[in-house]
Amino acid sequence: MIQSDELKHPNLRHGFFTRRGGVSSGVFSSLNCGYKNDDPAHIAENRRRALDQLGLEAYNLRVLSQIHSAKVVTLTDAAPLAAETQGDALVTTTPGLALGVVTADCTPVLLADPVNGVIGAIHSGWKGTAENISEATVAAMEALGAKRQHIMATVGPCIAQTSYEVGPELHEIFVSKRADYARFFIPSPKAEHYLFDLPGCVVSQLSAAGVQQVRWTGHDTCALEDEFFSNRRTFHQGGGKFGLQLSTIALA
């Protein structure tokens, strides 16, 4: 488990989990926390083990059906989520609820205003980043009473620029949104392709949203095969199924 100094606070519990320490086998070895394809019993045990490290109960974990959007879901109580509730970010003021996202190269972001007791968790792939889900999440936290100057955020393990080659279409999508997004792309060895700095873009968006304490942990999920699941790495190895790591935050 990886933790951030920014989010170490008496009122918070948080963690970015690696692929280690679970019960799943094969391509899902071992702490796979995404229900797709793997044995549901293994996933339940993996999630229990992860939450136990934070002193939390697995039944309080809330994970959306992620759809690569800028949709933020606000949880106002401890009621279970309706089946297949869709979205890519969660916010709450309810103590004990563990807001979770699952990723395998996309960017997990954990946020908190411990002064006003508001937390958030974001799944920000390139589509959500292009739509600035970070700004939408900060605004949703603000609606619950958070103050932007008090929000702290950490961008967790995700694909790094050196591992993330993209085509001209994705470059055009971002530059059409904002011309200054061009700074997050550098030419790749492949003609007319780029290396995209996804975590750098997300950090920039959070800073622009008024988050004054924000950083990336610096872990490249694609490059660190022993530590993390990776969609892109699986593709380069011929494709197939892959696991998902969990990132979660809760108010104590």
For 42-94, the DSSP string reads: HHHHHHHHHHHHTT--GGGEEE-B--SS--EEEE-SSPPPPTT-B-SEEEE--
The pLDDT score that the predictor gives to residue 35 is 84
Q: How many helical (H) and strand (E) elements, i.e. helices and strands, does the chain have?
A: 6, 13
List of the chain residues with pLDDT < 50? none
The pLDDT score that the predictor gives to residue 83 is 79
Tokens of 211: 């988050």
The pLDDT score that the predictor gives to residue 239 is 92
The pLDDT score that the predictor gives to residue 233 is 98
Q: How far apart are CA 186 and CA 172, in angstroms?
A: 13
Amino acid at 129: T
The pLDDT score that the predictor gives to residue 221 is 98
The pLDDT score that the predictor gives to residue 199 is 98
Domain 5-158+218-251 CATH class label = alpha beta
The pLDDT score that the predictor gives to residue 73 is 98
Domain boundaries, the chain: 5-158+218-251
